[in-house]
Amino acid sequence: MSLGHAEHIQGADRRGLAGVMPRPIKVTMLGAGSMFTPELVKDLFLIPDNVGGTIALVDIDERRLSTMTKLVELIAAEFGVADVWTVASSVDRAEVLPGTDYLVNCIEVSGVDCVGFDSDIPARYGVDQCIGDTIGPGGVFKGLRTIPVWLDVLSDVERLCPHALVLNYTNPMSMMCLAAARTSNVKVIGLCHSVQATSRILAARAGIPWRELTWECAGINHLAWFTRLEHEGIDLYPRLFDHARRDLAGDPVNDWDRGDFVRKDMMLHFGAFITESSGHLSEYLPYYRTRADVMEKYCGPEYDGESFFYATNWPQWRVNADAQRDRMLAGEESVPEKRSWEYATWIIEAREKNVPFTINGNVPNAGGLIDNLPHDGIVEVATMIDRTGARPTRYGRLPTQMAAICVSNMATYDLGAQAAIERSKEAAILAVTLDPLTAAVCNPAEIRAMVVELFDAESDYLPGFA
């Protein structure tokens, strides 16, 4: 089984991995206007003993691209690496893809133009979403808008930089990676921060240092299970179960640990903690968003399960991000100097220095990395990175009840990816029909009507669908 140890990324402040980067590299940021770019660029500059290279920024929004180019140049100057790192930018990815070693994908097709449709139309049919970017009507339609563009990107990569390693941050993660696996020979790893963030949460709840935590974690993106969670050989779950029961009963052990009820309740009933926030998780299940009284009990504010949370806040978040970049350029706000736990630059460092490093990556379940999940699907498992690339480790069998929850989501991902590849409205209808939450509140005829309405509303962003 794959084993995760917190010490794999204990150097995330400054130390990095042993060795010297042997060559300059080229990293292309696609969707460079995204929130990930300043963080990942800063992390790249903080790789110890790197010898620089080129950062190429690509975004179809010229204004945001111009701002980000200036910001990256400023960060390079502030970190004292402007003499070894060259910054290039273009609205046309084909201009900068040649020579790319690593492509970081953060595209957001349609921007914020469809988040209202993704949320409001399903709500009229009784489908209440918090985030709506991974599964359900919102997640499927984000996939339908994004995957065709994504596949064009991968086609360009095959033509212009076929040896590049593609690191995908864009949701819906499983659908994106599945579509890539079915249509492209490009090497793709799907990256999320759920395992890193959740392991820290669990260490804090158990009252132990995060670096001393040992775990096994496997499943699918946003639905991976910490099936083993120990400190110095002692199982931490009895302590966590007790804390969860007390919090659900209104008597929390710590005031700072109130809420997150969906994850705590699922842990008590299914036997292990899940990697994504209660707000995300509540959408992947048929249990928590179907009645007002249940939502009142289990769903809290913001990422804890708030209705329309992304649709309400995402447009303003983009405005806030743009304003923050302007403040940084004006010298009114500084760039953090601590390297983050985002996996991208740790993958780059491990591969370039040939130092083994373990991440939790989204990869094809080829050969049955998780035996009792579909072998043609995408799973999230411990993955070793070194000079040879990414080597996913075999987990084995998930406990049956945990595998069943994953499988219920993977059917929607399978049909959602198929719908996007084939431009098939019928496959899209079936994908949403199999979504666990949607199926809990709608009959098939209602789901078909809802999906047709979504296609009509978002037609400008869905070219080619028959």
Handedness of CA 451, 182, 188, 54 (dihedral sign): negative
Instruction: Give 230-247 pLDDT, tens digit per residue.
Output: 999 999 999 999 999 999
401: Cα within 13 Å, side-chain hemisphere: 10
* Band of residue 466 on the pLDDT scale cut at 50, 70, 90: confident
Which among 104, 115, 172 is positioned nearest to 417, based on CA atoms? 172
Handedness of CA 104, 336, 275, 213 (dihedral sign): positive
Question: Six-digit token pair at 245?
Answer: 């029961």
The region that residue 432 occupies, defined by phi over 0 for left and psi between -120 and 50 for alpha, beta otherwise, is alpha
CA gap 182, 51 in Å, rounded? 36
**Omega before 172 cis (within 30°)?**
yes
Q: What is the pLDDT of residue 15?
A: 62
Q: What is the pLDDT of residue 5?
A: 44
Instruction: Give 359-381 pLDDT, tens digit per residue.
Output: 999 999 999 999 999 999 999 99
Q: What is the pLDDT of residue 240?
A: 98
Which among 404, 402, 420 is positioned nearest to 466, based on CA atoms? 420
265 has pLDDT over 70: yes
Instruction: Give 3-17 pLDDT, tens digit per residue.
Output: 444 434 433 344 689
Q: What average pLDDT does range 145-169 have in this prediction?
A: 98
Q: What average pLDDT does range 202-210 have in this prediction?
A: 96
Q: Which of the residues are catalytic? A: 193
- Percent of the chain whose pLDDT exceeds 70: 97
Q: What is the pLDDT of residue 121?
A: 98
Q: What is the pLDDT of residue 2?
A: 39
CB atoms within 10 A of CB 197: 14
Choices 3.40.50.720, 1.10.3720.10, 3.40.50.10090, 3.40.190.10: CATH for 10-113+132-193+331-357: 3.40.50.720
Tokens 């309405």 sit on residue: 453
Let me know: does 133 contact 143? Beta carbons within 8 Å.
Answer: no
Task: Please give the backbone phi and psi of residue 162, each rounded to the nearest 5 degrees, phi first.
Answer: -60, -20
Alpha-carbon distance values, 456 to 97, 193, 246, 425 (Å): 35, 34, 47, 11
Mean pLDDT, the chain, integer: 95
Would you kindly state where each structural domain of the chain is located, as residue ranges?
10-113+132-193+331-357
Q: What is the pLDDT of residue 222?
A: 98
Q: What is the pLDDT of residue 337?
A: 87
* Band of residue 336 on the pLDDT scale cut at 50, 70, 90: confident
